[in-house]
Structure 1
Amino acid sequence: MSDINIEDLQVQGKLADNERLKRESNFLRGTIAEELNDQITGGFSADNFQLIRFHGMYQQDDRDIRAERAKQKLEPLHTVMLRARLPGGIIQPKQWLGIDQFAEDKTIYGSIRLTTRQTFQFHGVLKRNMKLMHQTLNDMGIDSIATAGDVNRNVLCTSNPIESEVHAEAYQWATKISKHLLPKTNAYAEIWLNGEKAVTTEEPILGSTYLPRKFKTTVAIPPLNDVDVHANDLNFIAIAEGGKLIGFNVLVGGGLAMTHGDTATYPRKATDFGFIPLEATLDVAAAVVTTQRDLGNRVNRKNAKTKYTLERVGADVFKAEVESRASIKFEDSRPYEFTERGDRFGWVEGIDGKHHLTLFIENGRILDFPNKPLKTGMRKIAEIHQGDFRMTANQNLVIAGVPAEQKDVIEQLAREHGLLDDDTSNQRKSSMACVAFPTCPLAMAEAERMLPSFVTDIEGILAKHGAPEESIITRVTGCPNGCGRAMLAEIGLVGKGPGKYNLYLGGTHNGERIPRLHKENISDSEILSIIDELVGRWLQERDGAERFGDFVVRSGIIAPVVDSAKDFHDVGAIPA
């Protein structure tokens, strides 16, 4: 350990109630098993409502019918959303067929949703089917351990199908990190898989009350920042020489969530700690997590994330503690550059000669829509595909490892079922939204359901100004919690109330600058009017191939966010 006094750096005061429920949970067991047998209600009590998150589930209800059910003296239609643990987002065709069947037979909505956490979610699972859901996934080699709650969540990894050898190594490290940081309690197996009861006495990395708040980790392979490293607590930037992975640059303390009206909350870019060799990876991962475990704010959950810990104790102090715990010294960061952020759509050929087809899945929602039977198409592809599928952190899907002789049949199936459409615009491919209504309990405004038509309007604006092939990274999130990563967009909409959003401008194409608030609490029609005017100016006044986010900063329309802890909440243009 370093010579710092941990107690001197901890936040003093009455602990948040989540700390009590974790402490009293008997290492995440609570009384979940007992409540599963209570069929009088479809939901869970207060503590278990929180504890099921550590098992990968959120209790939700359909907000579209909540009022009508209340009139009928019925409780809300409680269901759970499950988020699977799939480090790096890789899934086999046989597994896909299994999740497809469960979604069809045992969920209210019948859909599979690809998420910004590079995995899939089931929405609308009734209490009586929860145990079956976990057992079905377990039979396929999938679980949902620690994909929510105050733990390290699903580890992301760049979906790079071209540099196959580097990606394979990076993916292996993503799976190792995920396993290393998992809770050691046997609660998941006991409750959901009828596993043998085992006494848990310690959690060597996460601690007996786990982390102060959620924790997110990525492995990124430059030049593609498809995992948005600055949205995450811990990031390993792959450094390769001669086509081989030699180590990682480590970035700590990124995060996008905030609270409306609370200037003590803000998005933050991750801080570069330096380079480490491969053999130090797991030790450094554990050291960052345990440092955040011990120094993070357990009094105020709104300031409990790693980003706030770095700001409060100082990045240098946090880094020194990590070095002490991992018994390493960070070297100077190795040079790298992010030049791209989105997914590479269409066919690409890897250096191994295999072919990979990236499909655009609007909002990540895989369902049979009118004239676009996406779910059926994916099932037919899974029945013949010889490689694997890779979910991306942008809600899309890669059909990976396709031999040359199978390309035509895969492409034909994709086109026949609306999974591949040459008319999909660059703007639509550059847009993303969180789920929001009707299932997310935190949603203040629409996101997934409003995005398609909103993008159509932006497409019209670009065409009006003579640039239909251009694109602006546009993201919509229904509340300020950051799931849609709007705080790294060139145009970011954050829900404020029904039909109302805060408009943020000025992020970069490669995801390395946080946007700033331009207008508050306005309608989508008002936002489109602003975008129309600014796009016209951008296309008239741009410097070469200058991106929209860079233009609005250079032209003085919006001031750049330089140090978000100090200047994120300063609203408006650059002072004259």
Structure 2
Amino acid sequence: MSQKLHDNERIKIESNFLRGKLVEGINDNTTGAFPSDEVQLVKFHGLYQQDNRDRRAERKQQKLEPLYSFLLRARLPGGVVTPQQWLEIDRVAEELTDAGSIRLTTRQTFQYHGIFKRNLKSVFQELKFKANIDSIFTAGDVNRNTICTSNPEQSVLHTEVYELSKKISEHFLPKSNAYAEIWLDGEKVLDTEEEPIYHNIFLPRKFKIAVALPPYNDVDIHANDLNFIAIIEDEKITGYNVVVGAGLGMTHGDKTTFPRLGDDFGFIPTDKVIEVAEAVVTTQRDLGGRVSRSHARTKYTLETHGIETFKQEVEKRSGVTFAAPGAYEFTERGDRIGWVKGIDNKWHLTVFIENGRILDFDGKPLKSGLVKIAKVHQGTFRMTANQNLVIASVPESEKDNIEKLARECGLIDDGTSAQRLDSMACVSLPTCPLAMAEAERYLPGLTDDVEGLLAKHGIAKDHIILRITGCPNGCGRAMLAEIGLVGKAPGRYNLHLGGNKIGTRLPKMYAENIDEATIVSTLDELIGRWANERNQNEDFGDFVIRAGIIAEVVIAARDFYA
């Protein structure tokens, strides 16, 4: 007897290519929310229904429904926008969102928080008609925003991978006119529609694609279902290695779920990328699990059907035979903060934005400062996959002025430590409905604590990849950190240790369900040992494995819980 499919599968099939009853939901002024089926459907349009959890008790006492609002995530393959687009992005945040902020994300784009339902159509239309930006397929069971290396030094190669990321993104956009009909007041389609890639069932679960340009692993390849790693010879990209089946999410208490590194299927020439990408996506569409959402990502399809079976199916569908993997090496990840000069003789300034939150803080008016920069900047802005921003292609004649403006608003702060630059968190509370513990609001204080511990043990200039995610879904990429915290309950976290600096090894749980004070005392002991017992130039993640503090995760399905 076949198992019953998850109810999300019914919702997709019955939705008339993602229309459902969204129009009726928009027009229902008796509630700030959508009906339950449509809560799932709006994700395909780039929205998440949320409520302010800080105000739940107050609203309940007042006999009011939760303060519902929406997160909108933009589609920006490669994360590049013009100054004119930035000004519109800022204006929409200011005029049409309750939060008033722009939040840079680990998917190399931006998102808004606190959009009330009555403002949704205005946000969609202002973004599309004034900035030519949409949010199609930035969430839901589809290919989401395609990301790529944002390193500005290799300008010519960056342009190539950026153009490829746009091409991939556009290839996997829907054929359905639902988005335009619902949000942009577009003309209704009367003919029968088809989705040649997704059909009417779409994918079993979300799907993420990245294009990486070694030696930088700034896109964290092992956080994505499908990765194309550029193989470079004589300063030219000759093709790509294809890495499939990575992903970081898991479920607390369910040891059949786990983070997983991807498998390198081999090398393909550049002109075969789209064919192979479609073959991987459609193989996952047809072989992926649709019974349990917790087991529906590509990584579990490889575990269930076998790597070779999946690979052979991709070769069959694409007509491409994988060659032996090309040689490459990752030497670093994260972003190079500060000025660098590209090979095009233009300057690029990467600025650190803690938690990716762009807002005017006391003494640090980031949001209005970026508006001033956008009004004079002649190049582009590049969002990174690490929640930072590159003010790109600055001519020599404008460099001093851009630096002056950036310093005035706090975008350049010489006092920011290397540890803070290597720390990252997801949004979590108060808006994320899945959050179990704080992340974004906890990170600054925890970073202060870790900075203090490094100084206490005489290694203040050293740094550790530190990441926090408020639930086990993995948005903050804690499962690729040297120290990864995963929210378990308010004020309590699972502590994972043993990832490496370049993001090619998973950490393993060292302590479960510990409070914030215990986290600091535990790290105090471990950092002290690292300072006193490490080999020369030995990173923290490597040390805790060599010293036997934590076992290395080699094969996730076997080792992660062992």
For the aligned pair, the TM-score class normalised by the smaller chain equals over 0.9
Query: What's 1:302 paired with?
Result: 294
CA distance in 1, matches of 2:133, 2:88: 11
CA distance in 2, matches of 1:309, 1:565: 13
Query: What's 1:45 paired with?
Result: 35
Partner residue of 1:58 out of 45, 48, 52: 48
Query: What's 1:125 paired with?
Result: 115
Which sits farther off after the overlay, 313-322 or 196-205?
196-205
CA distance in 2, matches of 1:12, 1:558: 41
CA distance in 2, matches of 1:406, 1:33: 48
Alignment of 1:190-269 (within 5 A): 190-198=181-189, 199-269=191-261
The answer on 1:440 being equivalent to 2:440 is no
Instruction: Indicate conservation of the 8 Å contact 1:28/1:54, yes or no.
Output: yes
Instruction: Indicate conservation of the 8 Å contact 1:27/1:208, yes or no.
Output: yes
CA distance in 1, matches of 2:463, 2:147: 25
Query: What's 2:385 paired with?
Result: 393
- Cα deviation for residue 567 of structure 1 reads 1.5
- Cα deviation for residue 419 of structure 1 reads 0.7
The answer on 1:525 being equivalent to 2:543 is no
The answer on 1:181 being equivalent to 2:169 is no
Compared CA separation, residues 452 and 277, structure 1 to 2 (3 A): same
Partner residue of 2:58 out of 64, 68, 89: 68
Alignment of 1:26-425 (within 5 A): 26-139=16-129, 140-198=131-189, 199-425=191-417
- Cα deviation for residue 249 of structure 1 reads 0.4
CA distance in 2, matches of 1:467, 1:39: 58
Where 1:340 maps in the other structure, the secondary structure is coil
- Cα deviation for residue 242 of structure 1 reads 2.4
Query: What's 1:469 paired with?
Result: 461
CA distance in 1, matches of 2:34, 2:26: 8
CA distance in 2, matches of 1:287, 1:156: 19
Instruction: Indicate conservation of the 8 Å contact 2:241/2:265, yes or no.
Output: yes
- Cα deviation for residue 525 of structure 1 reads 1.2
Query: What's 2:493 paired with?
Result: 501
Instruction: Indicate conservation of the 8 Å contact 1:185/1:200, yes or no.
Output: no
Q: Deviations over 1:304-355 (max 9, x none)?
A: 0000000000000000000000001000010001110110000000011010
Query: What's 1:561 paired with?
Result: 553
Where 2:401 maps in the other structure, the secondary structure is helix
CA distance in 1, matches of 2:25, 2:317: 40
Where 1:19 maps in the other structure, the secondary structure is helix
| Paired AA for residue 550 in structure 1 | D
Where 2:304 maps in the other structure, the secondary structure is helix
Query: What's 1:513 paired with?
Result: 505
Count of residue pairs the alignment pairs up = 560
| Paired AA for residue 186 in structure 1 | N
- Cα deviation for residue 244 of structure 1 reads 2.1
Which sits farther off after the overlay, 192-201 or 128-137?
192-201
- Cα deviation for residue 12 of structure 1 reads 3.9
Instruction: Indicate conservation of the 8 Å contact 1:310/1:318, yes or no.
Output: yes
CA distance in 2, matches of 1:12, 1:388: 52
- Cα deviation for residue 216 of structure 1 reads 0.3
Q: Deviations over 1:490-511 (max 9, x none)?
A: 0000000000000000000000
Where 2:459 maps in the other structure, the secondary structure is coil
CA distance in 1, matches of 2:192, 2:463: 52
**For structure 2, which runs of at least 5 residues remain unmatched after alignment?**
none
The answer on 1:537 being equivalent to 2:514 is no
Where 1:566 maps in the other structure, the secondary structure is helix
- Cα deviation for residue 141 of structure 1 reads 1.1
| Paired AA for residue 426 in structure 1 | A
| Paired AA for residue 538 in structure 2 | E
- Cα deviation for residue 241 of structure 1 reads 2.2
Compared CA separation, residues 467 and 132, structure 1 to 2 (3 A): same
Partner residue of 2:445 out of 447, 453, 459: 453
Query: What's 1:430 paired with?
Result: 422
Partner residue of 2:544 out of 533, 536, 552: 552
Where 1:64 maps in the other structure, the secondary structure is helix
Instruction: Indicate conservation of the 8 Å contact 1:112/1:120, yes or no.
Output: yes
CA distance in 2, matches of 1:353, 1:194: 45
CA distance in 2, matches of 1:217, 1:332: 21
CA distance in 1, matches of 2:347, 2:325: 33
Alignment identity in percent? 64
- Cα deviation for residue 240 of structure 1 reads 2.1
- Cα deviation for residue 425 of structure 1 reads 0.2
Instruction: Indicate conservation of the 8 Å contact 2:92/2:127, yes or no.
Output: no
CA distance in 1, matches of 2:175, 2:57: 41
- Cα deviation for residue 375 of structure 1 reads 0.3
Where 2:54 maps in the other structure, the secondary structure is coil
Instruction: Indicate conservation of the 8 Å contact 1:55/1:148, yes or no.
Output: yes
CA distance in 2, matches of 1:213, 1:264: 17
CA distance in 2, matches of 1:59, 1:112: 17
Normalised by the length of structure 2, the TM-score is: 0.99
CA distance in 2, matches of 1:540, 1:529: 17
Instruction: Indicate conservation of the 8 Å contact 2:50/2:431, yes or no.
Output: yes
Instruction: Indicate conservation of the 8 Å contact 1:373/1:418, yes or no.
Output: yes
**For structure 1, which runs of at least 5 residues remain unmatched after alignment?**
1-10, 571-576
- Cα deviation for residue 243 of structure 1 reads 2.2
- Cα deviation for residue 246 of structure 1 reads 1.7
Show structure 1 runs of 4+ deviating over 6 A.
none
Where 1:201 maps in the other structure, the secondary structure is coil
| Paired AA for residue 298 in structure 1 | R
CA distance in 1, matches of 2:186, 2:205: 28
- Cα deviation for residue 106 of structure 1 reads 1.0
CA distance in 2, matches of 1:182, 1:285: 13
| Paired AA for residue 318 in structure 1 | F
- Cα deviation for residue 406 of structure 1 reads 0.5
| Paired AA for residue 237 in structure 1 | I
CA distance in 2, matches of 1:305, 1:207: 18
Where 1:325 maps in the other structure, the secondary structure is helix
| Paired AA for residue 77 in structure 1 | L
- Cα deviation for residue 200 of structure 1 reads 4.5
Q: Deviations over 1:517-553 (max 9, x none)?
A: 0000001110111111111111111111010000000
Where 1:275 maps in the other structure, the secondary structure is strand
CA distance in 2, matches of 1:263, 1:445: 21
Instruction: Indicate conservation of the 8 Å contact 1:156/1:218, yes or no.
Output: yes
Q: Deviations over 1:150-208 (max 9, x none)?
A: 00000010001011111101100000000011121111011001111114432111121
